Amino acid sequence: MLGIIGGSGLTQLSNLDVSHREIVRTPWGEPSAPLSFGRIGKQEVVFLARHGFGHTIPPHLVNYRANIDALKRVGATWIVSVASVGGIRADMGPGALVVPNQIIDYTSGRETSFQHADGQQVLHIDFTEPYDAGVRVALLTAAREQGEAVVDGGVYAATQGPRLETAAEINRLARDGADLVGMTGMPEAALAREADVPYGALCVVANWAAGRADSTHEIRFEHIEATLHSAMGRVRHLIEHLCGA
């Protein structure tokens, strides 16, 4: 079963034929929302709204552990995260879709691991390639078959939020090698790896990052909503294709 975590702009999947919803409890607390189960085409899907159905949970307060654990418990065997981001690299302007291949984590104070001092052997996961190669290929193939231009690869900078970055911070991220910036990619990706669930991300560029292009002096939120609204239609089509619909 495919688990889809929807971020800003994707609090529900209109093409998901929902059969039932389930409130799942985990040792880590409750996930952001009840899980929605259903099918897209032949693919069984479980959907979770990362920020809650009413978009009320900010990035730094998302219970990432409960979200990943809940998806695994109900039988998700792979996860696609849909996340909106700011674009830093020149070819990642508003409306671009990106399947990133690397992450730099700038978050702090989040629960980053399922491990706690319970007498279990300490586990160091390999995270050289933070996204699952198979999930990335599935996303890129679905996009190509559909004629949807998706950028293959990019370094995702995970920032703490919920505020957006300063222009100087974005310059620093660019110098570090980051191509796009978002607030929810970590620890989500690392927890999925710990849980041994293949995980990939489809990033939707909502705006130029602070200090870039038309965000030179400020980031205009009215542009973000319009961009996300039209891009999420393309994302839904891409997911349908990914599911063989």
Window contacting ligand HPA (CB under 6 A); options: 82-90, 96-104, 185-193, 235-243: 82-90
* 3-class SS of residue 167: helix
Site for ligand HPA in 107-166 (CB under 6 A): 159, 164-165
At closest approach, how far in Å is the CB of 209 from ligand HPA? 5
Identify the DSSP state of 29.
B
* 3-class SS of residue 51: coil
- Nearest to ligand HPA of 25, 163 (CB atom): 163
At closest approach, how far in Å is the CB of 208 from ligand HPA? 8
Residue number with the smallest Cβ distance to ligand HPA: 86
The alpha carbon dihedral of 148, 12, 26, 243 has a sign of negative
Q: How far is CA 174 from CA 133, 167, 209, 232, in A?
A: 24, 11, 10, 26
At closest approach, how far in Å is the CB of 33 from ligand HPA? 19
The residue within the footprint of ligand HPA, chosen from 9, 86, 200, 211 (CB under 6 A), is 86
Could you tell me whether strands 150-152 and 155-158 are parallel, antiparallel, or unpaired per DSSP bridges? unpaired
Tokens 């409306």 belong to which residue?
Answer: 95
Binding-site ranges for ligand HPA (CB under 6 A)? 84-86, 159, 164-165, 181-183, 206-207, 209
